[in-house]
Amino acid sequence: MTDKLNVGEILKPQGIRGELKVKPFTDDAEVFRDFTRVFVEETPYKVLSVRTGGGLVFLGLKGVPDRNAAELLRGKQLYVAREDAPVPEEGRYYIADLLGCNLVTETGETLGRLTGVRQAATDIYTVEMDGKEVMFPAADGVITAVDVQSGTITVDKKRFFEVAVL
């Protein structure tokens, strides 16, 4: 497991006082209100202000005093330390913990390795299978179990091949 979790991407400066417009990668943008420290790539910043609206987060960070400083952070990834992040609810997982897991069938057959997750109304998972990228929606009935400790995601084989884009 990683020690930092990717929680968003800095889209652009907001206003002239160094505020950042952030696209959150969390289920709820309000969780940003609980963060006292974030990392832009590897650099730590103290959170001075947080406001949300329209599914976006607007952050004020210590050391980012104006629009010029904020502009330098455009397009960078935003992280929090795992110990600062809330514990996910039962049946919910951090994407960082799912990446690299083996995709297996209920009979134990290994189909591939999870390499990516695109967030959407129904998340789209990307799996490397026999050297090819295969995408499938994490829809009802496709994923039957997740065990991040053993690094496996179990799928219903029939349902997987019905919805997978090969």
Q: Are residues 77 and 132 in the same domain?
A: no
Q: In terms of domains, do 8 and 80 share one?
A: yes
Distances (CA, A) of 110 to 42, 44, 150, 152: 35, 39, 13, 9
Q: Which of 39, 62, 84 is the last residue of a domain?
A: 84
Q: Which two tokens stand for residue 165?
A: 């884009």
Domain annotation covers residue 90: no
CB distance 2 to 39 below 8 Å: no
pLDDT of residue 1: 57
Give the CATH number for residue 128: 2.30.30.240
Paired strand residues for 145: 154
Query: Does residue 100 lie in a domain region?
Result: yes
pLDDT at 48: 98
Q: What tens-digit pLDDT sequence spans the chain (166 residues)? A: 579 999 999 999 999 999 999 999 888 899 999 999 999 999 999 999 999 999 999 999 999 999 999 999 999 999 999 999 988 888 888 888 999 999 999 999 999 999 999 888 889 999 999 999 999 999 889 999 999 999 999 999 999 999 999 8
89: in domain: no
What residues make up the domain containing 39?
4-84
pLDDT reported for residue 71: 98
Same domain, 63 and 107: no
Residues 71 and 111 in one domain: no
Beta bridge partners of 137: 124
In contact, 32 and 45? CB cutoff 8 Å: no
Q: Which of 59, 84, 109 is the last residue of a domain?
A: 84
CATH number, domain containing residue 42 = 2.40.30.60
